[in-house]
Structure 1
Amino acid sequence: MTYTNGIAPIVTVYGPGNLHHLSYASNGGIPNVVGIMPTPASVTSENNVTNFLLGFSYTYTGYSFYWDGKGPAFWRNAGSIFTEPVGTSWSAATSALWGNEVILGADVTAQVATAENRDNEVIVFIIPDDLD
């Protein structure tokens, strides 16, 4: 299950671009948070691949993300070989709810409209190749 027992999605992207991340549906009454994490050229590996670990907070129960880069992007849960393409806009974002076994495409434009911007401060971490 996503976001339980330390299992979080890993997003693998090819080429430059931005990973957009939204935390929403707070169970503590705090605002939604949205932001981007660019693919830094200094961290991108020789073969133009960057891996992002999508963090989470127990305060939110919904998470969505999408990729706006030049190359493709795929997500998988840590430790899994199963991969799926990442969404390409907030109207077709990749979305996960806390403890849900399924990650789906969803239109989260309404949640983004009420979110506070946290560019470069969202809970997304660049990880080295072959971490898991």
Structure 2
Amino acid sequence: MTYTNGIAPIVTVYGPGNLHHLSYASNGGIPNVVGKMPVPTTATSENKTNFLLGFSYTFTGYSFYWDGAGPAFWRVAGSPFTEPVGTSWTDATSVLWGSEVILGANVAAQVTSAVNRDNEVIAFIIPDNLD
């Protein structure tokens, strides 16, 4: 189950761009949080960057998308199964706390009320051989 026992999505992107991340549906009344983590513009389409998407127990919904030059794929840590990442908030890759399903969703309405935290979202660049 996602976000339990250390199981979180890993996003692999190619080339430069931004990984956008949204935390929403707070169970404590905290505003939604949205931001982006950039991949350097010096990255080429052969350069692979892995992000581990973190979480907070305060939120029950998480969504992300990639706006870069190359493709992006997500997988759950420890699994070889991969799927493409969404490319906008209207077609974002989304997961709810404890869900076994990651799917596409339109979360544009949650973004409009979110506090911007560019470069401060809970997404971490990780080495290629972590799991």
Measure how far apart 1:47 and its partner are.
3.6
Query: Tell me, what secondary structure is at the counterpart of 2:65?
Result: strand
Q: Secondary structure at the match of 1:112?
A: helix
Calculate the TM-score normalised by the size of structure 1. 0.95
Give structure 1 regions of 4+ aligned residues with deviation exceeding 3 angstroms.
44-47
Which residue is equivalent to 1:93? 92
Does structure 1 retain, via aligned residues, the 8 Å contact 2:31–2:113?
A: yes
In the other structure, the counterpart of 2:34 is 34
Consecutive unaligned residues of structure 2, counting only runs of 5 or more, are: none
Do the aligned residues in 1 keep the contact of 2:31 with 2:115 (CA within 8 Å)? yes
Using structure 2 for the length normalisation, give the TM-score: 0.96
For residues 95 and 72 of structure 1, the distance between their equivalents in structure 2, rounded to whole angstroms, comes to 17
For structure 1, the 5+ residue unaligned runs are none
What secondary structure is seen at the aligned counterpart in 1 of 2:118?
A: coil
Number of matched pairs = 131
Q: Cα deviations across residues 60-104 of structure 1 (Å, max 9, x unaligned)?
A: 000000000000000000000000000000000000000011001
1:75 match: 74
- SS of the counterpart of 2:68? coil
| Cα RMSD for the two superposed structures | 1.5
